[in-house]
Amino acid sequence: MAGHTGLLGSALVKVLNNDGYKNIITRSHNELELTDKSKVEHFFKENKIDFIFLCAGKVGGIIGNKTNPASYLHENLLIQDNIFEMANKYEVQNVIFYGSSCTYPKVCKQPMKEEYWLTGPIEETSMGYAAAKIAGIIGCKSYNTQYNTNRFICVVPNSIYGANDNFDLENSHVFSALIRKIDTAKQENKDSLTLWGSGNPRREFIYSEDVASASIFLMQNTEKLENNHYNLGSGTDYSIKELAEAISKVVGYEGKIEWDSEKPDGTMKKLLDSSKFLALGWKPKVKFIDGLKSTYQWYKENYE
């Protein structure tokens, strides 16, 4: 489990344990530097790995992506390449790689089908991160093609939220950033709160434990899979204004939400068409409001 302490990795560990899987190998960042090829190879030599969930990587929101695009590109490329090469060399049974909806064109027909991928320019604010994810998706297909295998599985989830998310305002995604900002406004008794952008962009969100359950399903059904990536979303999108209103209600913030339209919005709409994956026999279980309440509860209990 690469990235076991993060948003998706921790959800996977929880779901796997609940499902009775016990032989889960984890290493902290201090114990194993995934950008170091020699250390990664040593790890594979010392451990018999059957399955890999590649959740590790450098992730962030608009601010982080705009400020440090080279870092997002470099670190993610190194992690992916090292894991892919060693998984192939040491004959790991299956690897799941997680792409991103930001790899789809900035202006794209909605909902976005897998065949719309790479048909137009991507959003510039996430260029470095998206380029690494594009390379990872192509990497999965390339290894499968060259080595005549279905070892490498690629799923493209839309915006994931849940426990163990990153609530740092410089590097968080919109869901966790709004939870922190709105909760802070409530704690400080602010009459109003100004948020970035117009509030009009629409985003699709999927709960981390749903992505975890979908990932396990993929591992169990590799014989059904094509050598292509699969979209994974909830099927419903919300405007950022609607998200802010929903969070305010859960948090109990009654102040006014204002919008700074001079700040960037990013892509206006990112709704995935997940019908291809759903046709395999899996479907999400967690309702948006239940996931939101659970995420906020975790934030209040764990985050400082």
Which residues are catalytic, by number?
Answer: 129
Are 216 and 186 in contact by the 8 Å Cβ rule? The answer is no
Q: Which residues contact 153 (CB under 8 A, 6 or more apart)?
A: 94, 95, 96, 97, 140, 218, 219, 222, 225
Residue type present at position 185: A
214 sits in the region (left: phi over 0; alpha: psi -120 to 50; else beta) called alpha
Q: Environment class of residue 150 by beta-carbon count within 10 Å: exposed (0-12), middle (13-18) or buried (19+)?
A: middle
Q: Which two tokens stand for residue 55?
A: 């959740």
Residue with tokens 């400080």: 188
Residue 64 and residue 169: Cα distance in Å, rounded? 9
Return the H-helix or E-strand segment holding 287: none
Task: Tell me the C-alpha to C-alpha distance, in Å, between residue 289 and each of 7, 31, 293.
Answer: 18, 37, 6
Are 154 and 145 in contact by the 8 Å Cβ rule? The answer is no
End-to-end Cα separation, the chain, in angstroms:
26
